[in-house]
Amino acid sequence: MSDTTNAGYREVNFDGLVGPTHNYSGLAHGNVASMSHGGLVSNPREAALQGLDKMKSLMDAGYPQGVLPPQQRPDLGALRSLGFSGSNREVLARAAREAPQVLRAVCSASSMWTANAGTVTPSRDAADGRVHFTPANLQSSFHRFLEPETTGRVLAAIFHDPAHFAHHPVLPATPAFSDEGAANHTRLCAEHGDTGVHLYVYGRQAFGGNPAREPKRFPARQTLEASQAVARQHGLAAAQTVFAQQHPEAIDAGVFHNDVIAVGNGPVLLYHEMAFLDEQATLDELRAKLTTPLIPVRVPSEAVSMEDAVASYLFNSQLLSNPDGSMTLVVPGECQEREAVWRTIQDLLLAGHNPIGEVIVKDVKQSMRNGGGPACLRLRVVLSEQERVALTGRVLLTDALHGELTAWVERHYRDRLAPDDLADPQLADETLAALDELTQLLEIGSVYPFQLV
């Protein structure tokens, strides 16, 4: 640590536990993996264990690791609000018969991708010295629009102490304020405990934007107006923020979030040359606002094509800081399967002039088939030691908690789920029993609709 004011700050990665209804329903338009794997049989148990294994590997390597619970699915409340009535069994049966796509949506375990849970500003950057949170409205798709209410309750339960944590309302859930959270936000700084500059990447401008500069094929999920509103809620000044437009061609190639094409950590920005519409202006503004030299690590298309970037999720890696100043890149197993990508990791990243000194490969294939890599599965929260102590619940991973969560998954999760199984009323009962036990295990109190009635 460079001075005493930043002593004790660490980045804690809060990974989303994969829920018991993890399935492949092809729900996410513009997400190539989700679109191509819809209809496959999933393995929720394996998915949850892969996630827990990633968390444990990083904890064992010395990185503070947190965990966030999954959501209540099927979302029977959502089905009822859409006019399905009667007993739970009747609601599920009628939805399966009359609106199977709606049933699939209310069963999605998409809250596992906690990079979309919300946007977080560390206390070091906030005028009031508190950590600020805004749950993302995820209004781009129905299955994800169902998440923010419970997300807000979960974040408020864990980051409960008002002396340290401030929670803001979800932005209006309407296209002008379309918000997908931290997946489109990167904080750059010298070290985590130093003040940072916030890079917000948006896909389109809602008011007065130029349609010629927007994607043609797939939707832009983040608006400039949403990013600006979050920065405003968190009290960030213009000197602390950079707003950059994502390259529309990248969105049209399947880059539905910025974290599919760029990742930053400390002063390092690892990105594909097609990440930003105006690369030079984005780098210039970051350089002007940062108090430390920016270390851009640019990957050109000739090294990794857009297709390889989207298929391998190279940029959906976690970039983690080590005490000696070096960084570790946590990549999905798919990076090893594409020769150009693996070669780029060796030649350009590991051998290049940058702090990346190590690569860890993790298998998160169950999540990857729905378009969620290592970085999607975690929400980064930089916390001081005092703030870590102020957390509510057992949410920081230990060997004991990892063991209990593993046993919990093995007790409750199925190892096979086809889209047609989602109407099984027993699945709903199993899930509620599992989640009730989980809130006790994590000691976070009642956060689910079924616990609040």
Judge contact between 173 and 136, C-beta under 8 A. no
Query: Measured between alpha carbons, how far is 337 from 339 in angstroms, rounded to an integer?
Result: 6
Q: Given strand 10-16, what is the order of strands in its sheet?
A: 65-68, 10-16, 378-383
343-355 b/e with 16+ CB inside 10 Å = b? ebbeebbeeeebb
What is the amino acid identity at position 39?
A: G
* Of 261, 263, 255, residue with least CA distance to 356: 263
Q: How far is the CB of 32 from ligand SUG (least distance, A)?
A: 10
State which amino acid sits at residue 85: S
Contact between 193 and ligand SUG (CB under 6 A)?
no
User: Residue 24 interacts with ligand SUG (CB under 6 A)?
Assistant: yes
Selected range binding ligand SUG among 1-9, 50-58, 193-201, 256-264, rule: CB under 6 A: 256-264
**Cβ contact 170:134 at 8 Å:** yes
Note whether 259 binds ligand SUG by CB under 6 A: yes
Q: The tokens of 158 are what?
A: 């864990």
107 is catalytic: no
Answer whether 274's CB lies under 8 Å from 287's CB.
no
When the beta carbons of 231 and 377 are compared against ligand SUG, the nearer one is 377
Question: By CB under 6 A, which span of 47-55, 108-116, 117-125, 339-347 interacts with ligand SUG?
Answer: 108-116
Let me know if 376 is a catalytic residue.
yes
412 is catalytic: no
Separation of alpha carbons 451 and 438, rounded Å = 12
26 known ligand binder: yes
Residue 378 annotated as binding? no
User: Does 370 count as an annotated binding residue?
Assistant: yes
Rounded CA-CA distance 386/147 in Å is 29
Asked if residues 171 and 184 have their Cβ atoms less than 8 Å apart, the reply is no
The catalytic residue among 107, 192, 376, 387 is 376
Closer to ligand SUG by CB, 108 or 282: give it: 108
66 marked as part of a ligand binding site: no
370 binds ligand SUG (CB under 6 A): yes
Please tell me whether 29 is known to bind a ligand.
yes
Binding site for substrate: residue ranges? 25-34, 116, 143-144, 221, 259, 370
Active site residues: 180, 257, 376
Residues at the site binding ligand SUG, with contacts judged by CB under 6 A: 24-28, 31, 34, 38, 108, 110, 113, 115-116, 144, 183, 256-257, 259-260, 370-372, 376
Binding site: residue ranges? 25-34, 116, 143-144, 221, 259, 370
